[in-house]
Amino acid sequence: MNTQLQTIENSIQSDFQKFTKKHEEIQVEIKKANSMIIELQKDLQKSDQLTKQELDILQYKLAPRSPNLFTQEELTNLLESFNEPINDYTPELNEQGQSKLTQYISANGWRMSLDQINEKADIIRTVERIKFNGAKRDGDFNDLIEGTYYGQILNGKRDGYGIVYCTDTYNDPWLYECEWKEDTPIKGRCILIVQNKWRKLEGRIDETYLITGIGSLEDEDGTQIYGEFIQGELANKGKIKAIVVQEDGKLDIEGEFDDNDRIKGKMKGEKFEDMVFEFEGEINGDKPYSGIIKVSYNDGREIEGIIVEEIVQGKMSWPDGKIYEGRLMAYYGVYQQYGNGRLTQATGEYQEGEWDCDEEVGVHSYYSKDGVLIKTKDHDESESEEDVEKGKQRQ
């Protein structure tokens, strides 16, 4: 009997100790909550001194919500904040009162939907809206300055999925939607607004908040590049696929960089709305360097040949049957007769000599379709006596 009583007594004492410990833990949490309330009350008392971003963060802390989930309300609040001044940047708004960044997200969506984001939720990470203090960056990009972070937090650090909105020291806004690890972005998407046009980069992100590794770039003008990047710039190595939009046309490039920073591959292009071309070989930047090229003009002219830098050795034909064979040179993307060549008329008669920008220069020899010399003519001077004599003989 005594043994049973002792067992019951020990059990009661153990439960009491557990209750006491739990009670102490609750009291600690209550003290923390009271301290937070006092701090929030202090913040409210000086709310007229807070920035818009600081007020947004304060209101977020006061609003009831699940501590581990993202909400549509906060995503909407963040989206609307893109229309407000931040630091020294004041966004340019359209007729609907939307900034360029708001327009982009409204048209294309966030990188991930609310459901997709909350699939990443877990019980060890809270979702909070806090101040982002900026970041130092190397290379040609400017440092990031303060802004807002809305996302997962672990041990007081950005960790998990989160969104940063801030500006750089040139007052250009940046939006990051990415995975984080101990305050450092790992991979995701960043959108930059420059001169009220957006540029989107996506891929792995290094500690300087720039795309490094395999990634993609897309501009508002339609340029799209997929390849390897180093701190936001093309690395000039590995495979590349790009659509490059220029003032005078568009290029479609696919290939792989060689040791000379050139691309071995294929390129298609449109220039000045009146010419298209196809090229295979070495590409230097956005120009054919060496390889086989074919050009077609809207007026029916066609060029085929081998190009080295800007010189083509090949032929150009006209719809009326005229054919030029020899050297051509690209002047701002337009191919013209240049150097030695032969121009054959539809009748079969031809001339040989030199051209400069489609103009005949120096002495040209003129032949019948059977190869009989008809005359010579110096295009730098008036008609020679030999020209006149041979002309009389033909008559």
- The domain locations on the chain are 45-235, 256-394
CA distances to 105, 268, 297, 339, 341 from 334, in Å: 40, 15, 10, 16, 18
CA dist., res. 144 & res. 136, Å (int): 6
Question: For residue 259, what pLDDT is reported?
Answer: 87
Which tokens go with 187? 């991979």
Question: What is d(CA 32, CA 115) in angstroms, rounded to the nearest whole number?
Answer: 32
- pTM for this predicted structure: 0.74
**What pLDDT sits at residue 21?**
66
Q: Coil, helix or strand for 171?
A: coil
Q: What is the pLDDT of residue 395?
A: 39
Which residues, 6 or more positions from 341, have their beta carbon under 8 angstroms from its beta carbon? 324, 325, 326, 327, 352, 353, 354, 355
Where the chain has pLDDT below 50, the residues are 64, 383-385, 387-395
3-state secondary structure of 107: helix
The predicted structure's pLDDT at residue 67: 83
Tell me the three state secondary structure of residue 10.
helix
